[in-house]
Amino acid sequence: MNHYELMVIFTPVLSDEDYKASQKKYADLVAELGGATVHSNPWGLKSLAYPIQKKTTGIYWVFEFTAPADANEKLKIQMLRDEKVMRHMITRLDKYAVEYNHVKRNGGFAMQDKEKQEA
């Protein structure tokens, strides 16, 4: 099982319910393909660096998961077929990135900064 990070930019015209349903759809697809969810981080509505499909904003979602290598292609095909998805990117994480994400999620860097300030 490999560790992956998926970043998706959804179209900004989605309602909150549609956005959450799309997140659940892809999380369920990963589970169906033999993977497991590690962390889901919805960023919400953000401005884009450049217009995509004549839209200047998008709804971002970052999803960290573990899955077999063949699951990526099936996930990619579903993303390309979905009109709600403007852009997506799947990145394979090495052991250092997995450790970094874990420490970041658990507030490890904030604790290190406090320790430095106290010293």
Q: Against a cut of 0.75, is the pTM above it?
A: yes
Query: What CATH number does residue 46 fall under?
Result: 3.30.70.60
The structure tokens listed for 49 are 């660096």
Q: What is the DSSP string of the chain?
A: -EEEEEEEEE-TT--HHHHHHHHHHHHHHHHHTT-EEEEEEEEEEEEEEEEETTEEEEEEEEEEEEE-TTHHHHHHHHHHH-TTEEEEEEEEE-HHHHHHHHHHHTTHHHHHHHHHHH-
Domain membership of residue 97 as a residue range: 2-118
Number of structural domains the chain divides into:
1
Beta bridge partners of 111: none
Task: Give me the pLDDT at residue 114, please.
Answer: 59
Beta bridge partners of 91: 5
* pLDDT tens per residue across span 38-75: 999 999 999 999 999 999 999 999 999 999 989 999 99
* pLDDT tens per residue across span 75-106: 999 999 999 999 999 999 999 999 998 998 88
